[in-house]
A and B are shown apart, each in its own frame.
Chain A
Amino acid sequence: MTTLATPGRTASGVPLRPQPKHTGKKVAVIAGLVVGACFAALPVLWMLASSFKQNSEIFAYPPRLITQGFSFDAYTTILTDPTKLRFFLNSYVVALSVTLLTLLVAVHAAYAFSRYEFWGKKTINVIVVSVQAVPPITLLIPYFGLVVVLKLYNTYQGLILTYMVFTLPYAIIMMTGYFNTLPRELDEAVKMDGAGPLTALWRILLPISIPGMVSVGIYTFMIAWNEFLFALTLTRTEDMRTVPIGIQLLMGQHSYEWNEMMAMSILGAVPVLVLFLFFQRYFIGGMTAGAVKI
């Protein structure tokens, strides 16, 4: 559409309207987009810039984006501190486990919803959808008692199972939607050859559902990586804390090491940012499907 900018005549001989009008619109849209980009990205840029400063320079007057004392000190401090590295390890263990287990459980439930008619299907479906609206704060108090009884307090398993309660409904809904787009003939054909439903699911449906599973997996990973409330309440010792709690603990110390907090934040955001850069399409698919399709 922008190529129309060359002035000329249409086939019918009517002179084309001169195009400055389009250029004007284009400039206006770009100006709007730049203003929006400042709103969205400048705070993030400031975080990045601050992570390279000395702590004494954080509130320098006047503030400088690029500092004179540019250094990686904050990063070195964090990456050589075993306590903080442990936060990262914990976050990876929990988030990856949640992602794999959620996918494993969800594809089976989704297969049942997509391929079978059974008594109670509608009710179970409504329950799965509405469970997403249960406020975490409501579950928190009984969880506190429950994880102690189940001997899951301050363990990976406690966090992993808890997070699955929040990731599973979304994953089931998404995967059901994905399976519904795949023709039934595919798995019926395998069953004709005498294979059972599990074979049909694992051999036929799952291999062609990888894009859907990537979307769901990324979304699940992000929820688990970012969770705060339960990580705060269901773990106690420093060696079980996750990255979000680690960031909060930095803030709780007597002196505010802002540069370290920013560096830790950048490091804490890297996994999600990397996933986003490499899988942007799937990411956006995961974000929109909920509201647009269902």
Chain B
Amino acid sequence: MSTSQTSPRAATPTVTEPAARRARSRARLRRRLTPYGFLSPTGVLLIVLMATPIVMVVGYSLMDQVITNKNPAFVGFDNYAEVLSDPVFYTAVRNTLVFTISSVIAHFAIGLGFALMLNSPYLSNRTKAGFRMLYILPWLFTVAIIAVLWRLLLNPNGVINYILGSTGLTDGRTEWLSGTGTALAAVTFINIWSGYPFFMISLLAGLQGIPRDLYEAAKVDGAGVWAQFRNVTLPQLRPIIISMALLDFIWTTQQFALIWMTTGGGPINVTEVLSTFTYKLAFTQYEFSVASASAVLVLLMSMVLAFFYVRHQKARD
């Protein structure tokens, strides 16, 4: 590309007037097409592996017995009706909301608490760096690892039951992940443990970016620690908090692996979320059409959230 662009300029003096004009307009055209050239690999990838599958899944959701049947018939919104009349779908929606909202709130609370401590002026930078490293640890492990680790810790004979039992808080025999009363809380807790560092790091960066003079001014006005936090820290962090909460909300509603590997959605659907519900429809019941309808509903939900996220990001610019 580099050599071809230089040629018109070098050739101009020797060629006739219309030819020169043509060469110039060709150069202009090429300049105009250049950004599309740079974007083309991305475009091809996103068209083949993002746009096409989305069109396909919408198509699947309107047909009968896709994948398993060679000539599926068009059935309109029948599959959607089937999903929307399935009580397990509503259980999954409810569980997804409980799981997501609890996780996002706890990620925010723990993330902010840790970020404030890590930003404390009373400690040396060395100490803070050391603690920061420990605090990021949970985020570095893949979900598969987190799932087996917590299955070990929360095992009825495991160390958490031992600690709770010996302090007398419980009888020490709780079946955390297989009890209907505790499973959802347990997977939510695991998700909280593994996800807060992302929030924390962003909030910490946000805290470090708050200008010192804002605090000085607040102190001059006689604001105490709490008033400074409420009137300076929180408003300054607001854009980051909203961004992170929306991102976290989007990602947490999509969580699959953690639940799949700890409870598989059970016992009796108490930890069934939309992603495990959809996955089971497709890959254990082979109801690919109904699963597609469910997948499209999940997509619509995510797109609504994404709309708010994009709008929020635009407003920040």
Residue A294 at the B interface, CB < 8 A? yes
Query: Smallest Cβ distance from B165 to chain A, in angstroms?
Result: 10
For A17-44 the 0/1 string (1 means CB < 8 A from B) is 0000010011001101100110111011
Nearest residue, chain B, Cβ from A280 = B133
Tell me which of B114, B254, B306 contacts A130 (CB under 8 A).
Answer: B306
Query: Smallest Cβ distance from B152 to chain A, in angstroms?
Result: 6
Residue A76 at the B interface, CB < 8 A? no
Residue B104 at the A interface, CB < 8 A? no
Please determine whether A145 and B67 come into contact, CB atoms closer than 8 angstroms.
yes
Residues of B within 8 A of A121 (CB): 35
Please determine whether B244 and A109 come into contact, CB atoms closer than 8 angstroms.
no
The distance in angstroms between the C-alpha atoms of A130 and B117, with both chains bound, is: 34
Query: Smallest Cβ distance from A108 to chain B, in angstroms?
Result: 4
Residues of A within 8 A of B209 (CB): 292
Please determine whether A146 and B135 come into contact, CB atoms closer than 8 angstroms.
no
The distance in angstroms between the C-alpha atoms of A145 and B283, with both chains bound, is: 13
Residue A258 at the B interface, CB < 8 A? yes
Please determine whether A36 and B131 come into contact, CB atoms closer than 8 angstroms.
yes
Please determine whether A140 and B134 come into contact, CB atoms closer than 8 angstroms.
no
Please determine whether B302 and A43 come into contact, CB atoms closer than 8 angstroms.
no
Please determine whether A265 and B53 come into contact, CB atoms closer than 8 angstroms.
no
Residue B155 at the A interface, CB < 8 A? yes
Please determine whether B136 and A276 come into contact, CB atoms closer than 8 angstroms.
yes
Q: Which B296-317 residues have a C-beta within 8 angstroms of A?
A: 296, 298-299, 302-303, 305-307, 309-310, 313, 316-317
Query: Smallest Cβ distance from A230 to chain B, in angstroms?
Result: 10
Query: Smallest Cβ distance from B46 to chain A, in angstroms?
Result: 7
Which stretch (B76-84, B121-129, B215-223) binds chain A?
B121-129
Contacts A41-B134, A137-B278, A139-B53 given; indicate if A251 touches B32 (C-beta within 8 A): no
Please determine whether B36 and A118 come into contact, CB atoms closer than 8 angstroms.
yes
Please determine whether B134 and A228 come into contact, CB atoms closer than 8 angstroms.
no
- Name the residue in B140, B261, B313 with the highest tally of chain A Cβ atoms < 10 Å from its Cβ: B140
Interface of B (DSSP majority class): helix
For B104-131 the 0/1 string (1 means CB < 8 A from A) is 0000000001100110111110010001
Residues of B within 8 A of A280 (CB): 133
Nearest residue, chain A, Cβ from B313 = A294
Residue B214 at the A interface, CB < 8 A? no
Please determine whether B152 and A131 come into contact, CB atoms closer than 8 angstroms.
no
Please determine whether A138 and B256 come into contact, CB atoms closer than 8 angstroms.
no
- Name the residue in B133, B134, B278 with the highest tally of chain A Cβ atoms < 10 Å from its Cβ: B134
Residue B34 at the A interface, CB < 8 A? yes
Please determine whether A196 and B3 come into contact, CB atoms closer than 8 angstroms.
yes
The distance in angstroms between the C-alpha atoms of A109 and B134, with both chains bound, is: 36
Residue A210 at the B interface, CB < 8 A? no
**Chain A interface bracket (under 10, 10 to 19, 20 to 34, 35 or more):** 35 or more
**Chain B interface bracket (under 10, 10 to 19, 20 to 34, 35 or more):** 35 or more
Residue B157 at the A interface, CB < 8 A? yes
Tell me which of A40, A46, A59, A109 contacts B137 (CB under 8 A).
Answer: A40
The distance in angstroms between the C-alpha atoms of A15 and B159, with both chains bound, is: 53
Query: Smallest Cβ distance from B14 to chain A, in angstroms?
Result: 17
Please determine whether B316 and A269 come into contact, CB atoms closer than 8 angstroms.
no
Tell me which of B38, B118, B256 contacts A112 (CB under 8 A).
Answer: B38
Please determine whether A129 and B152 come into contact, CB atoms closer than 8 angstroms.
no
The distance in angstroms between the C-alpha atoms of A199 and B45, with both chains bound, is: 24
Please determine whether A228 and B303 come into contact, CB atoms closer than 8 angstroms.
no
Q: Which B125-167 residues have a C-beta within 8 angstroms of A?
A: 127, 131, 133-138, 140-145, 148-153, 155, 157-159, 162, 166
Query: Smallest Cβ distance from B187 to chain A, in angstroms?
Result: 15
Residue A136 at the B interface, CB < 8 A? yes
Residue A61 at the B interface, CB < 8 A? yes
Can you sample 14 A-B contacts with CB below 8 Å? Answer: A25-B122, A40-B137, A44-B141, A61-B157, A129-B310, A130-B306, A133-B309, A138-B54, A141-B291, A197-B5, A265-B148, A290-B202, A292-B202, A292-B240
Nearest 6 A/B pairs, CB to CB: A196-B2, A133-B306, A226-B142, A244-B144, A142-B53, A142-B56
B-contacting residues of A (Cβ < 8 Å)? 1-2, 22, 25-26, 29-30, 32-33, 36-37, 39-41, 43-44, 46-47, 50, 58-59, 61-63, 105-106, 108-109, 111-112, 115-116, 118, 121, 124, 126-146, 161-162, 164-165, 168, 172, 194-199, 222, 225-226, 228-229, 233, 243-245, 247-248, 250-251, 258, 261-262, 265, 268-269, 272-273, 276, 280, 284, 287-288, 290-292, 294
Given contact pairs A112-B34, A265-B145, enumerate 5 new A-B contacts (beta carbons under 8 Å). A141-B282, A142-B54, A194-B6, A244-B142, A262-B149
